């Protein structure tokens, strides 16, 4: 499956705007965490992949009632997280 095809599938798992917003908050929390690590303690960067998950997974559990894409293909799911963030910020998501 190409990344473009996977992103279409990924969006079917993110139909509820509340879930999308939780993903966006998680992505911004991740960015802030990376900045803080670079300023104060670079060793904490190993925890970076885990910052977004409490936000994203709670959105899937409470609103979507489905399994996160990261369970099936974590690399493509992470790339799609960032694509969805870009699409959200540029108002290119259809909700």
The angle, 0 to 180 degrees and rounded to 10, between the axes of the packed helices 74-89 and 3-12 is 70
In a domain, 49, yes or no: yes
pLDDT of 95 over the 90 cut: no
In a domain, 59, yes or no: yes
Residue 64 is predicted with a pLDDT of 97
| Residue range 12-61, pLDDT digits in tens | 999 999 999 999 999 999 999 999 999 999 999 999 989 999 999 999 99
Task: Give DSSP secondary structure letters for 10-67.
Answer: HHHT--SHHHHHHHHHHHHHHHHHHHHHHHH-GGGGGGGGGTSHHHHHHHIIIII-S-
Tokens 């190409």, residue located: 2
User: Following CA atoms 74, 69, 55, 43 in sequence, which dihedral angle do they give, to the nearest 10 degrees?
Assistant: 0
Domain tally for the chain?
A: 1
In a domain, 77, yes or no: yes
The whole domain housing 35 covers 3-89
In a domain, 54, yes or no: yes
94 pLDDT tier (thresholds 50, 70, 90): confident
In a domain, 83, yes or no: yes
**What's the whole-model pTM score?**
0.92
């Amino acid at each position: 499956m190409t990344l473009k095809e996977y992103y279409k599938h990924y969006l079917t798992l993110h139909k509820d705007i509340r879930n999308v917003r939780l993903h966006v908050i998680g992505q911004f929390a991740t960015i802030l965490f990376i900045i803080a690590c670079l300023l104060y303690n670079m060793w904490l960067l190993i925890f970076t992949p885990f910052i977004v998950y409490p936000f994203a997974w709670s959105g899937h559990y409470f609103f979507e009632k489905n399994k996160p894409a990261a369970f099936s293909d974590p690399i493509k799911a992470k790339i799609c997280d960032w694509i969805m963030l870009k699409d959200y910020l540029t108002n290119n998501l259809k909700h």
